[in-house]
Amino acid sequence: MDLVSTIKLFKYYKRLADQTFDQLDEKDLFWEYQAGNNSIAIIVQHLVGNMLSRFTDFLKSDGEKSWRDRDKEFVLLLRNKQDLLDRWEAGWNTLFSAIEHLDDVDLQEVVYIRKIGHTVPEAIQRQLAHYAYHIGQIVLIGKMIKGQNWKSLSILPGASSIYNREKFKQPKSKGHFTDEFLDTER
């Protein structure tokens, strides 16, 4: 497992959600497509609950903490945009604090999630896939809300050939696909 690449992917997906939050008003974060559908705020509550549970005492205790109330993550508790952003950052800070300093020995360890053993890379990849899934939902909801006012988070529609032409003018190089995107980190 390339931990550096994996951390870049976590940062990439976090950035997609951050750029979505930047485009939305407070009320938008609590909007539901239909009654019973998850709002962005609910998805954030769930992701943060998962991050805190999985990455607190990451190498030492089961990733499903006894104090986690997963069902409550789907009951709206966040009250405003600032509260949402503060919780969001707390979740990510817990994740990055747990994985940024792992070494080769740590990567050989087994961690448990609901008493099922995972190698450290398997556990991290499991969470990366889970977070990408939900962040895709956040972006889609943001795009639904903003409609024509949505600012694209990737290559603009109809601009692929121009983008590719510029890329192919450059010499071949080694790098991670997120490097250019994350260089503009806020």
What are the tokens at 42? 């609910």
List the helix and strand counts (H, then E) for the chain.
6, 2
- What was the pLDDT predicted at 186? 43
Are 106 and 59 in contact, with CB atoms under 8 Å apart? yes
Spatial distance between the Cα atoms of 172 and 186, rounded to a whole number of angstroms: 27
What are 38-93's pLDDT values in tens digits?
999 999 999 999 999 999 999 999 999 999 999 999 999 999 999 999 999 999 99
Mean pLDDT value of segment 136-161: 95
Spatial distance between the Cα atoms of 85 and 41, rounded to a whole number of angstroms: 10
What stretch of H or E contains 5?
helix 3-23
CATH top class, domain 3-154: mainly alpha
What are 9-39's pLDDT values in tens digits?
999 999 999 999 999 999 999 999 999 899 9
Inform me whether the pLDDT recorded for 146 exceeds 50.
yes
What are the tokens at 79? 């009250």
Nearest residue to 73 (alpha-carbon basis) of 117, 39, 110 = 39
Q: What is the DSSP string of 10-64?
A: HHHHHHHHHHHHHH--GGGGG--SSTTSPPHHHHHHHHHHHHHHHHTTTTTS-SS
Backbone angles phi, psi at 35, to 5 degrees: -55, 135
Spatial distance between the Cα atoms of 180 and 15, rounded to a whole number of angstroms: 13
Spatial distance between the Cα atoms of 162 and 78, rounded to a whole number of angstroms: 42
What are the tokens at 66? 């006894």
Supply the DSSP symbol for 172: P
